[in-house]
Amino acid sequence: MALFGTDGIRGLANRDLTVELALDLAVAAAHVLVESSSNKDHRPTAIVGQDSRASGEFLEAAVVAGLTSAGINVYRVGVLPTPAIAFLVAESKADLGVMISASHNPMPDNGIKLFSRGGGKLDDVIEARIEARMGEEWLRPTGHGVGRVINDESAKERYLEHLLASVSTPLAGITVVVDCANGASSFVAPEALLRAGAKVIAIADTPDGWNINDGVGSTHLSHLRSAVLEHGADLGIAHDGDADRCLAIDATGAEVDGDHILSILAKSFKSRGMLKGNTVVGTVMSNLGFIHSMKDAGIDVITTAVGDRYVLETMLEKDYALGGEQSGHVIMRNYANTGDGILTAMQLIQEVVRSGKTLAELAASMVRFPQVLINVKDVAKEKLDGSAVIAAAVKKAQDELGSNGRVLLRASGTEALVRVMVEAQSDNIATNIAQQLADVVKGELG
C-alpha cells in the first residue's frame, strides 16, 4: 500500500505515524532533494512548520533531526497554516517545505505534507522516489557536513504581509466572526482580518494541543452559526486545523460552502479581468448548481479528480487563475500556489464590500442542488469500473435525472469503500436513487 495519499501522509499519531517513520521520511526526502539539485555546492534549506496538535511537537523534532542529520539547514517556523509554509518556501527560495498536520482530521491523527521548490505540492513521481529511498543504508555526514536549525521569528509577519497585500479594498464596516478551529489560523486569521479593516470576533482561537477541530471549525459549523447570530455579524468564516479551507456563514445563519465561494470569486475575477481563459477549475464533486451558475455567467468549468492537488495540476497545465473544491479549498494563482483559507476569506469579504451586497445576496446567484452521498463500506472497490451491472444501473439513473441531476460513483483512495453521490432537484429523489445505487454496489462488490 502506498505511503502517500492525495495530500501527504496521514495516520494515528504515534501508532501509524511514528517518530521513526517521520525521521526516515525526512532523511529520504533530503537524499532525493540533494540528488535533484542542479547546484551541488549549495547547501539545501527546508522550511518546517506544524499545526497545533500536541503530537506535532515530537513529529517536528523527528523531521528536523532527519533533515539536519542529512545535511539540510532547517528554518523552523512553529505553528503556522499549511499555506504559510507553501508561501515561505517560495518567498525564501527554500528547497523543501514540510508541514506537520492532519488538516481537518480529529486531534489524535497527524500527517506530513511536503512542498517542493516554489511552494507546490510534490508530484507523484517525486513522492514515489522518496518512498523508495526510505530505510536504505547511507553515508552519514559529519562535522561541517551536518545541517543547522534556525528558529525563524519573522515568518508569521512575512506571511501576514503577504495576505494583506492581496486586499485592495479595505474591509471597513464589516463585522466578521472567525472560527479558528483551535488550530493554526488562531495565530494569524484574526490579526489579518483586523489589519485589513474588519471588526473581528474570534472564536475557537485558544489551542491547547488537544482541542484542535474538536466540535469547531469548517467541519462543525453550528458553533460559528450561533456566534454570527448572537453578535449580529455580517458573516462568519470557518477554517480547519491547518487553515487551507474556508467555509462561511451568512448573516441569516445559512451555510456558504466552497462551491458558493468559488462561484462568487469567479464572477468577481471575471468582472475585474482576472479570470484567465474565462475558466474556473472544479472537481467531479462540484455541485451541479455551481456548474449551472457558471454557465449562466458565461464562465467555462473544467472538472478534475477530487483533491486540491489535481485542481492545481490542471490550473498549472492550462495557466488558469482560479479553482477549488466544495470542501472550501480555493486556489487563486494571482496570489498563491496552493489553497489558502485565510486568503480566501479575505477575498470573499472584500467582494462583499466591493459589491455593496450581503454575502447572502452574493451566494443566492448559485442555487445548490440537493446532494446525497452514501459510503458503501467493505466492498471490492477495485472491481467498480469493471462491473457491467453497476454501469447499467448508473446509466439508468442518469437517464431518469436528465439535465436536472447527476450521478457519480468513485472508489475511495484510502478505504475499502465506494462513494455513491447523487444530485437531484429534491432531497427525496436524490436519496432514493442514491440508496438504489448503493444497494446495487453492495450486491455486486460486497
Which are the catalytic amino acids?
103
**CA–CA gap between residue 287 and residue 371 (Å, rounded):** 8
All three cell numbers of 72, joined, read 539540510
Cα dihedral sign, 229-232-235-237: negative
- Supply the DSSP string of 218-262, one letter for each residue: TT-THHHHHHHHHHT-SEEEE--TTS---EEEETTS-EE-HHHHH
Who contacts 207 (Cβ-Cβ below 8 Å, separation ≥6)? 52, 79, 180, 182, 183, 186
Does residue 14 come out as left (phi exceeding 0), alpha (psi in the -120 to 50 range) or beta?
A: left
Helix H or strand E encompassing 180: none
**CA–CA gap between residue 379 and residue 364 (Å, rounded):** 39
**CA–CA gap between residue 186 and residue 239 (Å, rounded):** 10
Strand partners, 372: 422
Cα dihedral sign, 310-316-319-325: positive
Q: 63 near 22, Cβ under 8 Å? A: yes
Cα 245 to chain centroid distance, Å, stands at 5
All three cell numbers of 248, joined, read 462561511
Who contacts 119 (Cβ-Cβ below 8 Å, separation ≥6)? 85, 86, 87, 88, 89, 90, 97, 337, 338
**CA–CA gap between residue 78 and residue 151 (Å, rounded):** 8
Q: 246 near 189, Cβ under 8 Å? A: no
Does residue 301 come out as left (phi exceeding 0), alpha (psi in the -120 to 50 range) or beta?
A: beta
**CA–CA gap between residue 216 and residue 225 (Å, rounded):** 11
CA 4, 52, 25 angle in degrees (round to 5)? 30
Q: Which strands sit side by side in the sheet containing 45-50, from one edge to the other?
A: 9-12, 109-115, 96-100, 45-50, 73-79, 149-151
